[in-house]
């Protein structure tokens, strides 16, 4: 039987002093066999905390999240690799659930559902978005926190040129080349420090840049009109329509303004990133 001791955890950081200690402590309590931090030159004490709690602290060259993850992945030794955000906290028992789902579902990677604490509308909207967007079960693409089969990830890591769209690129490539399968686990992981509108805007910015990267790369590779249309409609489908259809009527009605604003911001940053790329 697999256990958390079979897991190498990789955490990429940059000035994460508000959350890094809770993140790393939760992984230690969960029993991971190896804990690696990849730091992008933090100046707020993140590196010092990481050095005291992790097995290794490596340097992120600062060329993008895909390459940062690869730096950590290359040093892992365990059968499974967990990619955790520095703002994620792993509750007791949830890593074992991720392992069990990975094995029992016969997939090559799983992610966990995430949730935040709070009683205001922003927390309500974010949790409604997560609940509707990421229900447990088979999916084509998974995002952080992710648990992968270690040997496969070490042999076929992230695209080092991707700033934000590393998860989608990896899952699509694995599905194409190895017929890999993915799922969202029944496990739940907490996300801390993401309870402000500034953080929501930052997330939408990340998604928008990712959308622009995916669309530009796909167009250059010869996407047809149908595939381009699918890409253009993707944010509206997954961030607005999908959550609304999965939430009950009352929650859907209350969450609709948040979902609409979230989707609009994602498109805004997609357009802005595309204009910036063309201008460069």
Q: Please, are residues 205 and 266 in contact by the beta-carbon 8 Å criterion?
A: no
Based on the fold, state whether residues 125 and 145 are members of the same structural domain: yes
Question: Is the pLDDT confidence value at 278 over 80?
Answer: no
DSSP assignment string, 39-98: ES---SSHHHHHHHHSSEEEE--SS-HHHHHHHHHTT--SSEEEEEETTEE--TTHHHHH
Of the residues 124, 158, 193, the one at which a domain ends: 193
Based on the fold, state whether residues 85 and 211 are members of the same structural domain: no
Based on the fold, state whether residues 158 and 223 are members of the same structural domain: no
CA dihedral 234, 235, 238, 240 (to 10 degrees): -130
Measure Cα distances from 114 to 16, 81, 127, 153, 190 in Å.
18, 18, 8, 23, 5
Quick one: how far is CA 204 from the chain centroid?
Answer: 13
Question: Is the pLDDT confidence value at 93 over 70?
Answer: yes
Based on the fold, state whether residues 248 and 160 are members of the same structural domain: no
Q: Please, are residues 204 and 273 in contact by the beta-carbon 8 Å criterion?
A: no
Give the per-residue pLDDT at 195. Answer: 76
pLDDT in tens, 233-246: 999 999 999 999 99
Based on the fold, state whether residues 79 and 184 are members of the same structural domain: yes
pLDDT in tens, 138-170: 999 999 999 999 999 999 999 998 877 689 899
Based on the fold, state whether residues 75 and 45 are members of the same structural domain: yes
Based on the fold, state whether residues 200 and 184 are members of the same structural domain: no
Based on the fold, state whether residues 204 and 83 are members of the same structural domain: no
* pTM greater than 0.75: yes
Q: Tell me the CATH number at 56.
A: 3.90.550.10
Residue 71, token pair as written in the block: 């730096």
Host domain of residue 217 = 196-280
Based on the fold, state whether residues 186 and 275 are members of the same structural domain: no
3-state class of 136 per DSSP? Answer: coil
DSSP assignment string, 191-252: E-S--SHHHHHHHHHHHHHHHHHHHHHHHHTT--HHHHHHHHHHHHIIIIIHHHHHS-HHHH
Based on the fold, state whether residues 236 and 100 are members of the same structural domain: no
In the chain, the number of structural domains is 2
Of the residues 177, 193, 209, the one at which a domain ends: 193
Question: Is the pLDDT confidence value at 280 over 60?
Answer: no
pLDDT in tens, 19-40: 999 999 999 999 999 999 999 9
Based on the fold, state whether residues 271 and 205 are members of the same structural domain: yes
Question: Is the pLDDT confidence value at 251 over 60?
Answer: yes
3-state class of 139 per DSSP? Answer: strand
Of the residues 158, 173, 193, the one at which a domain ends: 193
Q: What is the DSSP letter of 137?
A: E
β-sheet bridge partners, residue 188: 113
Based on the fold, state whether residues 87 and 125 are members of the same structural domain: yes
- Looking at every residue in the chain, the average pLDDT score rounds to 93
pLDDT in tens, 40-74: 999 999 999 999 999 999 999 888 889 999 999 99
What span, in angstroms and rounded, lies between the C-alpha atoms of 183 and 190? Answer: 18
For the segment 201-228, the average pLDDT, to the nearest whole number, is 93
């Amino acid at each position: 039987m697999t256990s958390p001791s079979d897991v190498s955890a990789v955490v990429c950081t940059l000035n994460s002093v508000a959350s890094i200690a809770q993140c790393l402590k939760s992984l230690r309590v969960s029993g991971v066999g190896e804990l690696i931090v990849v730091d992008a030159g933090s100046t707020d004490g993140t590196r010092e905390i990481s050095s005291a709690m992790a097995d290794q602290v490596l340097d992120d060259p600062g060329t993008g999240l895909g390459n940062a993850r690869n730096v950590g992945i290359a040093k892992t030794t365990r059968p499974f690799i967990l990619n955790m955000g520095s703002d994620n906290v792993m509750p007791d028992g949830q890593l074992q659930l991720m392992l069990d789902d990975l094995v029992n579902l016969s997939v090559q990677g799983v992610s966990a559902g995430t949730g935040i604490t709070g009683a205001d509308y922003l927390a309500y909207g974010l949790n409604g978005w997560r609940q509707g967007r990421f229900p447990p079960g088979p999916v084509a693409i998974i995002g952080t926190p992710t648990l992968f089969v270690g040997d496969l990830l070490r042999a076929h890591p992230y695209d080092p040129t991707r700033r934000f769209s590393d998860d989608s690129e990896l899952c699509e490539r694995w599905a194409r080349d190895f017929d890999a399968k993915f799922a969202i686990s029944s496990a739940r992981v907490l996300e801390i420090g993401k309870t402000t509108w500034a953080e929501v805007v930052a997330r939408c910015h990340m998604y928008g840049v990712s959308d622009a990267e995916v669309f530009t790369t796909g167009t250059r590779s010869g996407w047809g009109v149908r595939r381009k249309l699918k890409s253009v409609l993707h944010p509206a489908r997954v961030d607005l329509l999908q959550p609304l259809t999965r939430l009950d009527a009352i929650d859907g009605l209350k969450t609709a303004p948040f979902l609409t604003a979230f989707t609009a911001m994602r498109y805004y940053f997609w357009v802005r990133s595309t204009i910036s790329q063309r201008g460069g």
